[in-house]
Amino acid sequence: MSNSGGIDRMSIKYMTGDSAGREERHEYTEEEEFAIMYWKIVLGMEWRTITNRMNIRYPQKSRSAGGLSSKYYRIREKWGLSGARVSGEEKSPEDVSKVLERAREFDDELIRSLN
């Protein structure tokens, strides 16, 4: 909203779903989601390192640290992992086990390449 109480251009874009001012968003594949979770939970990497690895591994889909972090919390919920924002713990033994269990869905070569 503008200061005069009217609706500004950004509000109109938001309400109409017009994303002309925003870069195209690429969907995450299951492999990309797994990579984020493996790097963060199993290997305990920092967001800067995860961002660099994602952008090297998947250069056609430039990702920001903020975007990856947001996706991480959505995946945690989707996978039924403990609430890291509530507990303050991102690497519980149970969460590590759940991520490693999901590793079975991917071939050994992928897992080796993520290390």
- Residue 92: which pLDDT band, with cuts at 50, 70 and 90? confident
Assess whether pLDDT exceeds 80 at residue 9. Answer: no
Q: Where are the domains of the chain?
A: 26-114
Over residues 82-98, the mean pLDDT reads 73
pLDDT digits (tens, 9 = 90+) for 15-48: 555 555 556 678 999 999 999 999 999 999 999 9
The pTM assigned to this predicted structure is: 0.75
Rounded to an integer, what distance in angstroms lies between the CA atom of residue 106 and that of residue 114? 11
Q: Residue 46: what are its φ and ψ, rounded to 5°?
A: -80, 155
